[in-house]
Amino acid sequence: MFTNIYPQLIGLFAGALLLTSTLMVWRHSLLASIGLLAVQGVALAALVAVIGVEAGDAELLLVAVLVLTVKGGVLPWILARESRATTRITDESPRLNPTAALLTVAGLTIFSYVVIGRILIHVSSVPTHAAPIGLAMMLIGFLLLVTRRRARSQLIGFLLLDNGIATVAFLTSGGVPLFLELGISLDVLLVVVILYVFAGRMHTKFGGTDVDTLRELHD
């Protein structure tokens, strides 16, 4: 029974990951992006749970709970709380207009399929077919990092990048060992907190969080 719907569930949740990533590029509001990040965290947790049930691996179910708490709950909560408290204007004016950005996303997704097709030549399983989505999420994360001007929007790009890596990990090898997943989650959490503190300091020092104002250090 479960084996029949397993490929469909993998496809569904992987699709949800790609869809939320694309919407993050399309939407310019910071709070909307944070909401999408939470949805993406839940979809990622569901994907891990599905792989765990299919493999009969209790540790993966534990990882799914961890992912749900950190990526679906704690991180978006920290981001949303700080953003509501400190910024009035949360709309972004990116360097790339929406049409060009969405076309780039399409290009990056196709590119991911080509690249992963060359790397995973000796492996064939249901989850590995969805692995290009993880790479596409990473590349979209890079796109956000490069094109967004505000410090906090860049942070969204960084988290998308991290979600992409996690997706590749779960789809190609069933995830890294639990203690490592814990370490990685803690690292990412701390980086986000640090960047948020810096964004706050930037707001008080520069009167805004536009990273284009970071121009003092050069040769």
Partner 1 sequence: MVFALLAPLALPLILAALSLLRKFSTVTRFFPIAVSGIVLGGGVFLIFATATGQAQTALGGVIRADALSAYMLAVVGAVGLVATWGGLGAVPTGHGTLAGSYDSLLCVFLAAMSLAVLADNIGVMWASVEATTIATAFLVGHHRTRKSLEAAWKYVILGSVGVAIALLGIVLIYAASQNAGEPTLSWLSLSNTTLSLDPAMMRAGGALAVLGFATKAGLDPMHSWLPDAHSQAPAPVSGLMSGVLLSVALYAILRIQAVTNLVLGPDFLRIMLSIGALLSLAVAAALLIRQRDFKRMLAYSSIEHMGVMALGAAIGAPAIPAVLLYILGHGLIKATLFVLSGRILAVEGTPVIAEVRGLLARRPGLAVPWLIAMVALVGFPPFSIFFSEVNILFTGWMEGMGAIVGIALLLLLIIFASLVRLTVAMTLGAATASSPTPPDRSAHGPLLPLVLALVTTAVIAFLAQPIAAVLARAAATLGAIH
44 binds partner 1 (CB under 8 A): no
Considering only 190, 208, 210, 212, the residue that binds partner 1 (CB under 8 A) is: 190
Tell me whether residue 100 or residue 119 sits nearer to partner 1 (CB atom).
119
User: Quick one: DSSP state of residue 56?
Assistant: T
Give the residue from 197, 118, 183, 187 showing the smallest Cα distance to 152: 197
206 binds partner 1 (CB under 8 A): yes
Which residue has tokens 């790609």? 18
Give the residue from 77, 12, 14 showing the smallest Cα distance to 44: 14
211 binds partner 1 (CB under 8 A): yes
102 binds partner 1 (CB under 8 A): no
187 binds partner 1 (CB under 8 A): yes
214 binds partner 1 (CB under 8 A): yes
Q: Where are the beta strands (DSSP E) in 102-185?
A: none
Which value, to the nearest 10 degrees, does the dihedral of the CA atoms of residues 123, 129, 130, 132 take? 70
d(CA 148, CA 168) in angstroms, rounded, equals 24
User: CB of 135: closest distance to partner 1 in angstroms?
Assistant: 8
d(CA 150, CA 51) in angstroms, rounded, equals 36
Which value, to the nearest 10 degrees, does the dihedral of the CA atoms of residues 178, 180, 186, 192 take? -120
184 binds partner 1 (CB under 8 A): yes
User: CB of 129: closest distance to partner 1 in angstroms?
Assistant: 14
Tell me whether residue 98 or residue 177 sits nearer to partner 1 (CB atom).
177
**CB-CB neighbours of 143 under 10 Å:** 22
202 binds partner 1 (CB under 8 A): yes
- # binding residues, partner 1 (CB under 8 A): 39
Query: Which x/- pattern, by CB under 8 A, does the window 110-129 give for partner 1?
Result: --------xxxxxx------
The tokens for 117 are: 């097709």
- Tell me the three state secondary structure of residue 147: helix
Using the rule CB under 8 A, give the single segment among 4-12, 13-21, 81-89, 157-165 that binds partner 1: 157-165
The pair phi, psi for residue 198, each rounded to 5°, is -65, -40
Considering only 176, 207, 208, 212, the residue that binds partner 1 (CB under 8 A) is: 176
Q: What does the binding site for partner 1 look like in residue numbers (CB under 8 A)?
A: 118-123, 138, 142, 145, 151, 154, 158, 161-162, 165, 168-169, 172-173, 176-177, 180, 183-184, 187, 190-191, 194-195, 198, 201-202, 205-206, 211, 214, 216-217, 219
